[in-house]
Amino acid sequence: MMKIDLHVHTSHGSGCAYMDPDQLVQKAKFVGLDGVCITEHDQLWSRDNIERLKIKHDFLVIGGVEVSTDFGHVLVFGLHDSVREVGTIRELRKIVNKEGGVMILAHPFRYEPDIIGAHFLSISNGSSSSKELEKVCKDPDFKLIDIMEVYNGRSGINEINFTALVAKRLGLKSVGGSDAHATLELGTSYTVFEKEIKDEEDFIAQLKSGQFFGVDDRWSEDLVSAHP
Ligand SMILES: [Zn+2]
Ligand SMILES: [Zn+2]
């Protein structure tokens, strides 16, 4: 079993982050993670730099990227060329298919507090669904992603629970990542993999096999199940 944080930013590639890559790995070890994925905004680390960090700390580091698209932020693994020119989720899907990578929709409802609020208001009187949930699930763009990031360290519990309901409804597997921009934020949300992962290739194979689940340690007993 391996605990991996699928979503981390560093000061090396994200201007908005405060943590340097060495601090990131040291803190990741300290909080009990077995690996981290570095996913800067629209920018990939070179394979050499990932490898250097991995060897320096004898710790699993995987290079990914958080791509901004017309369908929101997408964590992508398996790409090694620039993604700066990618604008739409459809274009991204084509590129990722060609490279045999994986697409994970990150914090899908971060900027939709009204939808989330209206949903929880409607179900507070006992109904199991809401018109907001039904409407969201009809969006055809969900067919273009492989996995949903349900557990995000920067999301609140309503956002996570709403995302879990959508993932369950759509039959999408869920993962967790801290979305940490500073060391203090590491270790809250992560993904548990059943098999050992040694490198990017193992990691992508495990994501495709579906043998993993997302975890959020902050509110475990208040979370709704995301299992389809
Ligand atoms: Zn994001
Ligand atoms: Zn992020």
How many Å lie between the centroid of ligand 2 and the Cα of residue 51? 21
pTM: 0.95
Is 138 inside any structural domain? yes
Q: Is the pLDDT of residue 226 over 90?
A: no
Q: Residues 202-222: what's their mean pLDDT?
A: 92
Q: Residues 66-94: what's their mean pLDDT?
A: 92
Q: Is the pLDDT of residue 221 over 80?
A: no
pLDDT at position 109 = 97
Residue pLDDT, tens place only, 152-196:
999 999 999 999 999 999 999 999 999 999 888 998 999 999 999
How many Å lie between the centroid of ligand 2 and the Cα of residue 190? 13
Lowest mean pLDDT among 25-29, 79-83, 137-141, 208-212: 79-83
Residue pLDDT, tens place only, 93-136:
999 999 999 999 999 999 999 999 999 999 888 888 899 999 99
Q: Which ligand is nearest the CA of 40, by number?
A: 2
Q: Tell me the one-letter amino acid at 176.
A: G
Question: What mean pLDDT, rounded, does the chain reach?
Answer: 93
Q: What is the rounded distance in angstroms from the CA atom of residue 102 to the CA atom of residue 118?
A: 32
Is 11 inside any structural domain? yes
How many Å lie between the centroid of ligand 2 and the Cα of residue 125? 34
Q: What is the rounded distance in angstroms from the CA atom of residue 51 to the CA atom of residue 189?
A: 24
pLDDT at position 16 = 67
How many Å lie between the centroid of ligand 1 and the Cα of residue 17? 12
Domain extent, residue 80, equals 2-222
Is 6 inside any structural domain? yes
pLDDT band of 17, cuts 50, 70, 90: low
**Angle value at C-alpha 126, between 167 and 143, nearest 5 degrees:** 15
Q: What is the rounded distance in angstroms from the CA atom of residue 88 to the CA atom of residue 179?
A: 22
Q: Which ligand is nearest the CA of 9, by number?
A: 2
Q: Which ligand is nearest the CA of 179, by number?
A: 2
pLDDT at position 148 = 98
Is 207 inside any structural domain? yes
How many Å lie between the centroid of ligand 2 and the Cα of residue 178? 8
How many Å lie between the centroid of ligand 1 and the Cα of residue 155? 11
CATH number where 207 lies: 3.20.20.140
Q: Which ligand is nearest the CA of 68, by number?
A: 1
Q: Which ligand is nearest the CA of 69, by number?
A: 1
Is 228 inside any structural domain? no
How many Å lie between the centroid of ligand 1 and the Cα of residue 227? 23
**Ordered alpha helix ranges (H), 82-211:** 89-99, 113-123, 131-137, 157-170, 200-209
pLDDT at position 19 = 82
Is 123 inside any structural domain? yes
Q: Residues 52-80: what's their mean pLDDT?
A: 97
Q: Which ligand is nearest the CA of 38, by number?
A: 2
Q: What is the SS3 assignment for 102-137?
A: EEEECCCCCCCHHHHHHHHHHHCCCCCCCHHHHHHH
**Which percentage of the chain shows pLDDT scores above 90?**
82
- Structural domain count of the chain: 1
In the block, tokens 């902050």 appear at: 218
Is 227 inside any structural domain? no
Evaluate whether 147 touches 173 at the Cβ level (below 8 Å): yes
Q: Tell me the one-letter amino acid at 182.
A: A
Q: Which ligand is nearest the CA of 72, by number?
A: 1
How many Å lie between the centroid of ligand 1 and the Cα of residue 107? 7
Lowest mean pLDDT among 8-17, 79-88, 144-153, 199-208: 8-17
pLDDT band of 228, cuts 50, 70, 90: low
> Residue 125 CB: number of other CB atoms within 10 A?
6
How many Å lie between the centroid of ligand 1 and the Cα of residue 185? 15
Contacts of 193 (CB under 8 A, 6+ apart): 1, 2, 4, 206, 211, 212
Q: Can you tell me whether residue 40 is helix, strand or coil?
A: strand
Lowest mean pLDDT among 11-20, 34-43, 152-161, 206-215: 11-20
